[in-house]
Amino acid sequence: MRKNWMRKVLKFLVIAAVAITVFSLLVMVLWNWLMPTLFGWPVITFWQALGLLILIKILFGRFPGRPGAPQWHWRRRMMERWDRMTPEEREKFRHGLRGGLGPFGSSAEPEK
């Protein structure tokens, strides 16, 4: 049983290492293809691309087990708002989802 657990951990580590390597190479190639040409920025190495990925994860990503709002917190908030709406407000909202509101909707007046 312990042997099987170790095999799974080793398999996960190998897959994670391959995925990190592939993503780092992808970032490096895309950066070196676009940034120097478009903005005159310097070419980066594999290790700089890996560091950039880590920085992006720290700034914009979520780490497992990190306290805070759940991933689908917006759904709960929307359901709470829906429960507080009157039937007229709900119908108006449904109409807006069908494209009846806004500048691109079917009931929008043409611009002059």
What band does 73 get if pLDDT is binned at 50, 70 and 90? confident
For 75-111, write each residue's pLDDT tens digit: 888 888 889 999 998 888 888 877 755 555 555 455 5
Could you tell me the pTM of the whole model? 0.52
pLDDT at position 23 is 93
Question: Residue ranges per domain, the chain?
Answer: 2-60, 70-102
Chain centroid to CA 30: how far?
19
What band does 62 get if pLDDT is binned at 50, 70 and 90? low
